[in-house]
Amino acid sequence: MGSLTVSLSERAYEIEICRGFDSFRTMLDLVTTNNQVMIVTNNVIAPIYLDVMKEKLSGLNVNTCILEDGEVFKTLSAIEQVITSLLEARFDRGCTLIALGGGVVGDIAGFAASSYQRGVKFVQVPTTLLAQVDSSVGGKTGVNHPLGKNMIGAFYQPKLVYANVETLSTLPTRELRAGIAEIIKYGLIARPDFFNWLEEHLDKLLDGDADYLAKAIKISCETKAEVVAKDERESGIRAILNLGHTFGHAIETGLGYGEWLHGEAVACGMCLAAKMSYLAGWIPEEALAKTVALIQRANLPTSLPPTLSATEMLNHMQVDKKNRDGKIRLVLLRHLGEAVISDDYDPKLLLEVLENPAA
């Protein structure tokens, strides 16, 4: 249904968007060097897709590591579980890890791959919409700490991303909507034409239409790939991919990991970022209204949970990878379709947004 390349010189890799797993073995054989394969998945995905994947890998030395499902389990203990599985299988540095699952599985498998014997190959097989449009692409891997989300990890690129849109048919509705939040993000930060397309066709995505989802996935991945190619390790422009994430990560940490899905927290964070951009005089009220309306149509949250105070949010926002010299750096909107990274804002505006979060 489409393919594209993430261009990173010697670390370039393909993103394959397709129906089914028919071409997976052919693609895998292009990037692997020996027959040792470890499938890392979780106890929700394994009963659905693990046997199918094993069948496609017939003839290889395949082992599995089945993790617990959920953001709350994205910890250093999970990394140890994967590495223990690799050691017990006597796998060498020519082995390949396959991340079969959503963003949590991909983050864990990728970080384990970056660490095992100082780095082995890994392949992303994302089975959630959020993972297909965001977390499987770009090489960010890692785990959470009780004091901050994704604070332990590495930049480590996969050898292949294989996005099978048929896996989305088994997604719970809430997970599908969470993935749509990240799709909306790309329209807001870089693709106003795509934002307009989403306004017109959002109902098709919510209904799970495979053709429309495939188009949204391809445009999202193209946008992210272009940004990552310019700034692989997030020393500059790549941070625009974090629109809403500083707010969102604070929500996830403050509520407890897993209480809100990542996409739900990001959706709320994007509304807060848009409101702050409006209050700063950077975007017109119409752009704020269009942002909030589209997120509301996707049945995603637009306001902070009432249990989180402005003080709590600020405390958690102080622990963010974008911050410099104690300043909270935010991704804000200059226009609908143009994002900037800034700590040059009136702190009173941030406090006002957190104290009055309704858009």
Active site residues: 118, 140, 182, 224, 234, 238, 242, 245, 249, 262
Task: For residues 339 and 349, give the distance between their C-alpha atoms in angstroms, rounded to a whole number.
Answer: 18
Q: Is 233 exposed, middle or buried (0-12, 13-18, 19+ CB in 10 A)?
A: exposed
CA distance 159 to 15: 9
Asked if 73 and 41 touch (Cβ cutoff 8 Å), the reply is no
Answer for the pair 205, 175: CB distance below 8 angstroms, yes or no. no
d(CA 180, CA 188): 13
* Pairwise CA distance, residues 135 & 129, whole Å: 10
The amino acid that residue 94 corresponds to is: G
Question: Interhelix angle for 285-297 vs 173-189, to 10°?
Answer: 160
* Tokens linked to 96: 């390949």
User: What distance in Å separates the CA atoms of residue 285 and residue 103, rounded to the nearest whole number?
Assistant: 34
